[in-house]
Amino acid sequence: MIPSVGRKEVLHETLLSLARQSLPPRRVIVSVPGFEHVEESSRALPFVECVLSPRGMTAQRNTGVRHLPAETELVAFFDDDVELAHDFLAAVSRAFQQNPGVVLLGANVVADGATRSGGLKRDEALRLFRDDDFAQQQQQKNAPAISPVAPMRAAYGCGMIVRRGVLDHVKFDEKLPLYSWLEDVDFSVRCAAFGQLARCDSARLVHLAVSRGRTSGQRFGFSQIMNPFYLWRKGTLDSFTRVVSSFWLKALAANFAGAFLPNKNRGAIDRRGRLLGNLLALGFIALGRNDPEHILRMK
């Protein structure tokens, strides 16, 4: 299942990545606010179903869940800007078969464009997998087909897979609108009530982190502060100290440095907008307002 807005060319390349899987997907639901967000060539792919949804990561994912076929056993959630190793779905299928106690599986993100200015290009991801595939083939000659897993605290939302039955009880929180910062953490914590969370190293993907089509700097900066506070008040994050140290201080430091210090690698990141959003959210919290949906009223 893939939510997407305004990035139909990127989305199409991701769908082609799914089409190249050694274990093909039975169906890929693309959840969009309008059909103009999907190329005709994407809609023509035999495994693709497009559904209309209100805009926002959490709303679009919940809409997609409501369109799942009754016989579905496993549901993969992807961002629209990922490239999958050719055996990704096969590795995921083995991992769930070999680990019946696991309810949510996280991908092995071998490279993440979110950690570098400008993100990653599709051809970089393909080249990385070609090199990695050769190394793995040399290591795995005559080895049994297994997909080892390791415990994790939360999945990264660009690639996570859940057992269908869990989705009868756990939905994505639509109070985290638009880009829905930290919705994956919230979703993971609530899934943990039904079984184990694990990462599968054999399920490899690259997150390109294409900047086009994302929410504005000021809106995202607001969410960087408000969303973790909201999740702490909700009970997803168990420590206010963690909210401050793991989320607030990191965001403020990066955005302040990017806004006021010379940085040739700043690229397309709107650090000043993010910093303004950070400060606005802190002002809201100081006034007792716990309102992540305020970004819908921001320009």
pLDDT in the model for residue 258:
87
| Three-class HEC string of the chain | CEECCCCHHHHHHHHHHHHCCCCCCCCEEEEECCHHHCCHHHHCCCCEEEEECCCCHHHHHHHHHHCCCCCCCEEEEECCCEEECCCHHHHHHHHHHHCCCEEEEEEEEEEEHHHCCCCCCHHHHHHHHHHHHHHHHHHCCCCCCCCCEEECCCCCCCEEEEEHHHHHCCCCCCCCCCCCCCHHHHHHHHHHHHCEEEEEEEEEEEECCCCCCCCCHHHHHHHHHHHHHHHHHHCCCCCHHHHHHHHHHHHHHHHHHHHHCCCCCCCCCCHHHHHHHHHHHHHHHHCCCCCHHHHHHCC
User: Sorting pLDDT into bands at 50, 70 and 90, what band is 138?
Assistant: very low
The pTM of the full predicted model, rounded to 2 decimals, is 0.90
Q: What mean pLDDT comes out for the span 53-71?
A: 96
CATH architecture of 2-207: Alpha-Beta Complex (3.90)
Q: What mean pLDDT comes out for the span 247-265?
A: 84
pLDDT by residue (tens digit) across 10-19?
999 999 999 9
pLDDT in the model for residue 139:
46
Q: What mean pLDDT comes out for the span 180-208?
A: 96
Q: What mean pLDDT comes out for the span 204-209?
A: 95
Domain positions in the chain = 2-207, 217-297
Q: What mean pLDDT comes out for the span 281-289?
A: 97
